[in-house]
Amino acid sequence: MKYHVLLAFLVSSYLMSAQFKSVAIATWDGDAHKEVVLVDVRTPEEFDQGHLCDALNIDFKAEDFKDKIQELSKTTPIYLYCRTGKRSKNAASLLEELGFENITNLEGGYVAYTEEGGKPCPEN
């Protein structure tokens, strides 16, 4: 009986915990995602070489990443991407720990986006 209670507790804890989603970056359509915050977690140098339109650049490797990311609303949907998907996945895990409620990791990152024909945001 004790094991059934423990199992039920573990399952309910898992289901109630915030889980970030991962979707292929090819599904990104900026026009269809106007009510979200898009965050590029690459370095400023990488960002300057090309990025998705309307992306904020908050460098995951920077010492002040936690401070800057916590300036965003924890209830607004956050979409994250990086070069190949590793940093954005790690950033998504951190945002989850920080209490963000709606996190999506764009798998494959900017490399996959450009390989699939995506164009960088034109400079203004």
Q: Which residues are catalytic?
A: 82
d(CA 90, CA 59): 12
CB-based burial label for 116 (10 Å; 0-12, 13-18, 19+): exposed
Burial 67-97 (b: 16+ CB within 10 A, else e): eebeebeeeebbbbbbbbbebbbebbebbee
Q: Which two tokens stand for residue 107?
A: 């798998």
